[in-house]
Amino acid sequence: MVKNLFQILKILEKDSNFTQRKLSSTLGISLGKINYCMKKLIEKGLIKANNFRNHNNKIQYSYLLTPKGIEEKARLTLEFIKIKTEEYNALEEEIRTLKEDAINEKKKD
């Protein structure tokens, strides 16, 4: 969930007119899950939704990060970096172990 919220906040910070459908497509997340996340972000006061009419006379929303949302994005960025660093370190250890196993197997031959 952290990754999803981080990615949504990151995209909306760059383009407040990103639609939920476009977020869904870009992130590979179901539209229902995007809608759920957006409602939670609004409830938490991290984004503000402004509606307007687009050129097809349909109501569309722009999503603006609030100051609280900007702070949360910064916090999530640090958390995301921590998670990815841990994943990287675990992968690096797995690669090292596999290399050692391959060398040991080759020595047996």
| CATH numbers and ranges of domains, the chain | 2-108 (1.10.10.10)
pTM for the whole structure: 0.68
DSSP labels for 74-87? HHHHHHHHHHHHHH
Task: List pLDDT tens digits, range 15-58.
Answer: 988 889 999 999 999 999 999 999 999 999 999 988 766 656 55
Q: What whole-number distance in Å separates Cα of residue 27 and Cα of residue 17?
A: 16
Backbone dihedral angles phi then psi of residue 60, each to the nearest 5 degrees:
-130, 160
Task: List pLDDT tens digits, range 59-104.
Answer: 678 898 999 999 999 998 899 899 999 999 999 999 999 999 998 8
